[in-house]
Amino acid sequence: MFVVTLITNPAIHLEPELVASLRNALGGGDAVWLNPNTAAEFTIPQAPTNFEDIWASLQAEGVDMVLQPQEGRRKKMLLADMDSTMIRQECIDELAAEAGVGPRVAQITARAMNGELDFEGALRERVSLLKDLDVAVISHVLEKRIHLMPGGPVLLATMKANGAYAALVSGGFTAFTAAIADRLGFDEHRANTLCAEGGQLTGKVTDPILGREAKVEALNDITARLGITPADVLAVGDGANDLGMLQLAGAGVALHAKPTVQAQAKHRINHGDLTALLYMQGYAATDFIKA
């Protein structure tokens, strides 16, 4: 048995007529409304062969569609990217803007996240452009330029209240992941470390670089430690360096992701916020825990 979950942006409404029409076309069971305005689900006996066509047509209506086996969809662990996933920004781009090299770094970031550039080389190149930036700028950027992605606090609070473990894994920097992990309630975080001397960034990052393979290693390490399997994990990210963990996890979600990532991820959320990750696990809005 499979579950079809339909999710919209909380700012708009999911039309009951659309849900009923799709349910009837797929021979589904009764629709269950997880949120009267935003999310609904129904079961179907088998996966439709024209899923991609249906998905594309719903995208034009501002609706995300997730199809997954009914069994085991509520996960025991959340493994999340940080930049443009748990927060709206790319931290290195915000630091670069303070250093006066914003457009140049942002261009490299966009290409690296779409898989057009080697992640490690692109990271080293961008960090080199931050040489001599005052370390105090990091605190300023965190306070003034970094904003949480909508739905993040509720996602963490709800999954953790239901026994899930949460890990933040980023190709960004520990100076940011430490703050975001603490703010959202992640159990642990992993990222790269910016090198500094005399209160200024040196333009280098410590080895080894945490990239695509390190995120996969984090998934394997943490699940082994917890005594669970990758099938028990919900992973979420937006960049090419997230693809390894997205493909290995039981539920890998490309959130407002780059085209290359969407093309290869199991699940895609383009309209909903981070609460979409709760709806796809079968949580109703009445189950949400306010952070």
DSSP structure string for 217-258: HHHHHHHHHHT--GGGEEEEE-SGGGHHHHHHSSEEEEES--
Instruction: Look up 83 and say whether it is catalytic.
Output: yes
Residues 267 and 262: their CA atoms lie apart, in Å, by 8
Cβ–Cβ < 8 Å for 86, 172: no
Residues 113 and 108: their CA atoms lie apart, in Å, by 9
Which position among 30, 64, 81, 134 bears the catalytic label?
81
Which position among 64, 83, 93, 273 bears the catalytic label?
83
The CA–CA distances, whole Å, from 154 to 6, 37, 257, 273 equal: 19, 17, 21, 11
- For the CA atoms of 273, 56, 81, 156, the dihedral, rounded to the nearest 10 degrees, stands at 30
Q: Encoding tokens for residue 69? A: 């086996």
Q: Encoding tokens for residue 35? A: 């949120």
Tell me the residue ranges of DSSP E strands in the chain.
2-8, 32-35, 39-44, 63-69, 77-80, 165-173, 188-192, 194-197, 200-205, 233-237, 251-255, 267-269
> Which 3 state secondary structure label does DSSP give 170?
strand
Instruction: Look up 287 and say whether it is catalytic.
Output: no
Catalytic residues: 81, 83
